[in-house]
Structure 1
């Protein structure tokens, strides 16, 4: 039996379950390899913008089941709502089983304050033209679908994955300016409110970076995504790091080969596990 890595906090965001760009099996491998005290789901875990009953593979269901099982096993799970799963914002402050649903989160970590939120409220394109953001999202999804097919071919040839969308972002000056402005606005606000760490997602750009002004300094952290970067944030031994699935998976936990046997009834069963577990421990 392989030993799971014990970490204090794991943060994932922008999984986009229910879309063809989501790499659910890779995420499941990652979740099977760790044993966190807290798992922070920092928005856009399920993609309600593009949700379709015609496309929700068993591997995507299995990610949900895994999260529910982790909750039943005592992992504290906090679901921070994002723009793609904004339907959950009406349930802010409630719990589903043992999973807390919030819009933001503040934690004290060894004497330092950490501020968690998805980040869409600081995205001017979201606030000023939501319809345009959704239109752009469909274009991004089409690009990731093409990218996924290209990467399937590259992997069969023994070559590394390639991110088309990341290449496009890096080559478009306006996109980089948008990202820089996003990071600066969030970090300045964190400094004004005396937060040592500010943790977000939304822009699919994994990063750890210090920001400093005359009023103080903060560490900006972005958990990236599971559509092109396959990244998470991990906190252990008073330090943060970005986990890159493609680089850091030394001995990954492979997904069980029982996707074909799973259906919606299995998902319902996974949710009831939480309640059954609570009854047994009373």
Structure 2
């Protein structure tokens, strides 16, 4: 099946290792594209909730697919977020086509573009730990309730409904998003960037922001828990890709991934990792 070839793809907030992660949908999306550059913009893993007892084959397949893209020539940047900040001690590390960084600066057709996760601009991060943990617990309980609620809806012939998205539409949530976006844009303009891309708040968006300091294109890649969105750069413009609306063909996971058991997946991932290490040594590339 023919794959689309966008120049750049940015995705964030996958939250591998949690039950909310929509790994099957992400795998189908990744199988439909072959980008020149893939930016993983933070919280790809969720180490704050990581449970060794829960990491199903679909999550391993996502890792295998990403590493396979790197092995086949795609430049992959892993930008660290707040949920996978354990990787920040490896910032600057390069393994073949895979690079770990905390931010990415690009010049795209004359526009200075800054890509980072966004957690440093989240005013909610100044709250005490118990408030943050309480909010995270409430979010998880909402998803569990949503799962049971949608089972009932399916039995009655109705489509899925997102309680989390509904909760996110209230005035307080909208106010928080507005403050976050303003903080991101102000910081970008202070550093003379024309475009700023982040994730973190699970709210996909593409908008021109006009301020007294100047104008800036604000982009948020959303998440693969609720929104199932990504950003694609092609033909000198950014598009907000929405999996549930934009998939025009019935893409499925690559055949080589569909039939693999857990041991085969792990062996395959290790093999790709070793190949990337060997390539780094052969190329003589440094960190």
Same fold per TM (> 0.5)?
yes
Q: Which residue of 1 aligns with 2:15?
A: 16
Q: Which residue of 2 aligns with 1:208?
A: 206
Q: Which residue of 2 aligns with 1:258?
A: 259
CA 35–216 in structure 1, closer or farther in 2 if over 3 Å, else same: same
How far has the Cα of 1:151 moved from its partner? Answer: 4.1
Q: Distance in 1 between matches of 2:148 and 2:57?
A: 19
Q: Which has the higher mean CA deviation after the structures are superposed, 184-193 or 220-229?
A: 184-193
SS of structure 2 residue aligned to 1:35: coil
After superposition, where does 1:86-125 map in structure 2 within 5 Å? 86-125=85-124
Q: Which residue of 2 aligns with 1:225?
A: 223
Q: Distance in 2 between matches of 1:153 and 1:244?
A: 26
CA 157–232 in structure 1, closer or farther in 2 if over 3 Å, else same: farther
SS of structure 2 residue aligned to 1:36: coil
After superposition, where does 1:85-234 map in structure 2 within 5 Å? 85-151=84-150, 154=153, 159-171=158-170, 173-234=171-232
After superposition, where does 1:57-72 map in structure 2 within 5 Å? 57-72=56-71
CA 61–196 in structure 1, closer or farther in 2 if over 3 Å, else same: same
How far has the Cα of 1:175 moved from its partner? Answer: 1.5
CA 152–112 in structure 1, closer or farther in 2 if over 3 Å, else same: farther
TM-score (norm 2): 0.90
Structure 2 segments unaligned to the other structure (5+ residues): none
Q: Distance in 2 between matches of 1:4 and 1:187?
A: 34
RMSD: 2.2
How far has the Cα of 1:133 moved from its partner? Answer: 2.0
* Maintained 8 Å contact 1:229/1:244: yes
Q: Distance in 2 between matches of 1:23 and 1:130?
A: 27
Structure 1 segments unaligned to the other structure (5+ residues): none
CA 243–155 in structure 1, closer or farther in 2 if over 3 Å, else same: farther
SS of structure 2 residue aligned to 1:235: strand
Q: Distance in 2 between matches of 1:242 and 1:142?
A: 29
Q: Which has the higher mean CA deviation after the structures are superposed, 144-153 or 228-237?
A: 144-153
How far has the Cα of 1:189 moved from its partner? Answer: 1.6
* Maintained 8 Å contact 2:67/2:269: no
Q: Distance in 2 between matches of 1:258 and 1:134?
A: 38
Q: Which residue of 2 aligns with 1:272?
A: 274
Q: Which has the higher mean CA deviation after the structures are superposed, 31-40 or 208-217?
A: 208-217
How far has the Cα of 1:203 moved from its partner? Answer: 0.3
Q: Distance in 2 between matches of 1:149 and 1:66?
A: 31
SS of structure 1 residue aligned to 2:219: strand
Q: Distance in 1 between matches of 2:249 and 2:154?
A: 18
Q: Which residue of 2 aligns with 1:5?
A: 4
CA 101–152 in structure 1, closer or farther in 2 if over 3 Å, else same: farther
Q: Distance in 2 between matches of 1:150 and 1:280?
A: 54
Q: Which residue of 2 aligns with 1:49?
A: 48
SS of structure 1 residue aligned to 2:36: strand
